Structure 1
Amino acid sequence: MNANSPAVTTGKSLELRGPQRAAAIMLLIGEEYGAPIWSMLEEEEVRQLTHAMVQLGAIDADTMHEIVVDFITQLSGSGNLAGSFEKTESLLLKIFPPEQVTAIMADINGMSGRRVWQRLAHIDAEILANYLRNEYPQTVAVILSRVKPDHAAKVLTILPDEFAIDVVNRMLRMEAVQKEALEHIEQTLKTEFVTTIAQTSKRDAHEIMAEVFNAFDRQTESRFLTALDDVNREASKKIRQLMFTFEDLTKLDPGSVQTLMRSVDRDVLARALKGAPEPTRAFFFSNMSTRAAKNLQDDMQTLGPIRLKDVDEAQAKMVSLAKDLAEKGDIMISKNRGEDELVY
């Protein structure tokens, strides 16, 4: 959230600006969903954000509600924005003395080159190989000599044999690469490859917020979705379509649901079904043996009255476990969305 974002006035007449609003959002989404965001921040940004968190104090529910709704609305309504070295330098020259801008941009230019190689190391070997097969062998040799050996090995095994051998020979004979040549390769990778990959892999804001909403308890989820209906019905609709809930587990095929039930703790399953609608219960029971279903129903009866919070936690654990199993390829999760199908 930008430091120049409009202020939000709380019930205590305190103004929460960019860093404080960002801190509130990060505290709300927690470790699991916040970790990818933290990893993309610069060290100074981390310091600013943590400083804002420490000084944030208590925020009442109405203010938090307003911050989240405003945040989602801005994400949904924002257009694409492209920044560049030249645009940034031009902007800074209007604010700071030329010699200071030169020093700042020189430092950024060096950091930019390092980031290219860092990001390259995390790009799938298949994608990297498909790009490199159209480059000169000498260029490929320079690039593979600067990534981790295991990553370079994966790329070489994907490249055509004759081309790969040529690259290996050039890597063996390689001497120190001139600074200008290396900077040219870095710039080419940044503009033609790494940036393109980052753009094509950028996730839709609604998908990110759907995952955040999945992490809410049902009362909080309902409160925010209802509020969002009032200010941005289209965004609310998209988020609802993208959310994966406990009830969506009823779309599992028989083999997948049986794998899930074998993997989940019996007490968690009992608590999750205790608060589930009857059709959802029936779905799970129908995928068990008569004896197993009877035993589970007895477990649910033995539990007696339980808190809605405990039901939410159990159902969230099952959804999380299902996603983990799907990621490993043990089950397939699908969710019908009109003409589309969302597969995790």
Structure 2
Amino acid sequence: MSGVQRAAVVLLSLGEQQAAEVLKHMSAKEVQKLGLAMTSVGGISRDAVSRVFDDFVEVLAQPSGLGSGADDYVRAVLVQALGEDRASGLIDRILMGRNTSGLDSLKWMEPRAIAELVRNEHPQIIAIVMAHLDSDHAAEVLKCLADRVRVDVLLRLATLDGIPPHALNELNDVMARQFAGSQNIKSSSVGGVKVAANILNFMDSGQDETLLAAIAEVDDALGNSIRDLMFVFDNLADLDDRAMQAVLRDVASDRLGLALRGADARVKDKITGNMSQRAAEILLEDMEARGPVRLAEVEAAQKEILAHVRKMADSGEITLAAKAEAFV
């Protein structure tokens, strides 16, 4: 079982009230992933549950001093490493950004609801809102916006370098109309080419190229910069062997076989080269036996795997190659 599935087993075993208390301390995305896992781990044997709890208890038994005074520790380390001036913005983003309750509340909303909330706002405000969402969430919101708005928002997002005071005031007004009470949102550095590239990676095939072409018409250099930082399925061939093996441990073989339909030969060779000979043979045999599949299914499987790769890169489990620096 994957880590998320093991966590789901633990929560299911705790009971409703205890599980609910645990979930209160998690982010919206973590709750969503755990919720999905909890609905899909049925039929697990008693021995499997016992093994999960044995691992869980073993981890809990390990002494750890982490967590105590973590904020002060992070602040001191960053100041020593980067200097007061360079570290201040990063410290605000890491520590103070957790208090942006107005923006955090958006992460719990459906993409279409967010799109409705900002539909009549200035594109600059929409860009700021998008910059604070997770890339996959922001991509879904972007899909719900009118075509004429998408390009403008993405252009502003890619060139966003910090939030000016007047924009923050407007954003506060947006939040105040949607949620009761005033929001104490601190200034932070958000947006940029990397954020735009991350969001485009989660757009449907065809939509990303349409948006890139429109951006290039306005600013060709910016369009090329965004394209250079995008990480697509073919870029998996550039992963080192250790990273590829780590990815393969968490990817279901049926999703992998589906994603490899029509993939570049370099990607197929990279993946099968990091599997045992028998596992590679089974994968290729399953692909041949499956027969024709819809392109939409292939693209969905590829995006699912890419999302997992980006998550591993974000958490530091793996390092992506050259063009994937946006996700490291």
TM superposition score normalised by structure 2: 0.49
TM-score, normalization by structure 1: 0.47
